[in-house]
Amino acid sequence: KNQVEQSPQSLIILEGKNCTLQCNYTVSPFSNLRWYKQDTGRGPVSLTIMTFSENTKSNGRYTATLDADTKQSSLHITASQLSDSASYICVVTGGAGANNLFFGTGTRLTVIP
């Protein structure tokens, strides 16, 4: 069964600290993996996309990694800011037909001063 699981479910960190969010998937075949940031009451916005051959990609203070062998991805946030408070959703494209999207439940990050 094609699934995407994220951990932790929620996370509270102090402003300025780093954190890492995890995404494990069983989607096969795999096309790509995307991390989205969803602010409360808003639609998700894409942060990074990882294809099979990529294992690291950065977007400012966000760095995503992908291990296609173990089917794991992580999103590392450096020097967190209050504006990083949001839900972070891992979305894997693949499955039969290779263009279905599978959404994780997200990690709710709260950055406190």
DSSP per residue, 32-67: EEEEEEE-TTS--EEEEEEETT--EEEETTEEEEEE
Q: Is 34 in the site for other proteins (CB under 8 A)?
A: yes
Q: Is 57 in the site for other proteins (CB under 8 A)?
A: no
Pick from 86, 88, 93, 111: which binds other proteins (CB under 8 A)?
93
Buried/exposed code over 91-100 (b: 16+ C-beta within 10 A; e: otherwise): bbbbbeeeee
Pick from 27, 65, 104, 111: which binds other proteins (CB under 8 A)?
104
Q: Is 105 in the site for other proteins (CB under 8 A)?
A: yes
Please give the residues from 13 up to 32 whose contact with other proteins meets the rule CB under 8 A.
Answer: 31-32
The neighbouring-strand residues paired with 112 are 14
Instruction: Give SS3 for 113.
Output: coil
Q: Which is nearer to other proteins, 13 or 101 (CB)?
A: 101
Burial class for 6, CB neighbours closer than 10 Å (0-12, 13-18, 19+) = buried
Q: Which is nearer to other proteins, 80 or 106 (CB)?
A: 106
Residues lying near other proteins in the complex (CB under 8 A) are found at 31-32, 34, 41-46, 49, 51, 89, 93, 99, 101, 103-106, 108
